[in-house]
Amino acid sequence: MEPRIDLFANKVTASYSKRLLTAGKVVDDSGLPKAVYELVKIRASQINGCSFCVDMHTKDAAHAGESQVRINLVAAWREAAVFTEPERAALELTEAATRLADGGGIGADTWQRVRKHYDDEQVGGLIAAIATINAWNRINAIAHTPAGSYEPGQF
C-alpha cells in the first residue's frame, strides 16, 4: 500500500499529529494502568482496520512486557480467560465507543462495569484514550500509512 500523504511532511497534519501526541501524554498522567491503555489502543485499531496502528500498538505492548498470548487474544477478549475484570470493562467501553455509529451507544451496564473498576481520573483517562486512538486510526487509515516498519519507541 502506498501512502496517500506523508502526515509528518504536511503542515496541517503534522501540527494536528503533534497535538494528538500531547493528548496521549494526558492519558499517561491519568492513572489509567499502562496495560489497559495499550489494550484499548490495540482493540480500537483492530475495529477501525488501521493496520499502521495495530502494528505500532502490538509492538509497543510487547516491548512494554505484555505477553504475546494476551496481544493475540485482544480481538477475542470476550472469550479469552487472560484478561482481568477491569481490562474487560475497558475493552467493552472501547468497543461501544468505537462503534457509536452502529447505534448501540454506551449502555448503562457497560458504564456501571467501568465505574466499578476505575476512579474519576482513570475514567477520564479511559475516555481520552479511546477518543485519541480513534482519531489516530482515522488519520492513518485515510492517509494509507503503511504498516510493518514501526519500531517500538519510534515516536
CA gap 3, 72 in Å, rounded: 27
User: Can you give the pLDDT at residue 139?
Assistant: 96
CA gap 74, 121 in Å, rounded: 24
CATH 3.20.20.70 for domain 15-143:
no
Torsion region of 103: left, alpha or beta (phi above 0 gives left; psi -120 to 50 gives alpha): left
Per-domain boundaries in the chain: 15-143
For 85-118, write each residue's pLDDT tens digit.
999 999 999 999 999 999 889 999 999 999 999 9
CA gap 58, 150 in Å, rounded: 10
Say whether pLDDT at 2 is over 90.
Answer: no
- pTM for the full predicted model: 0.94
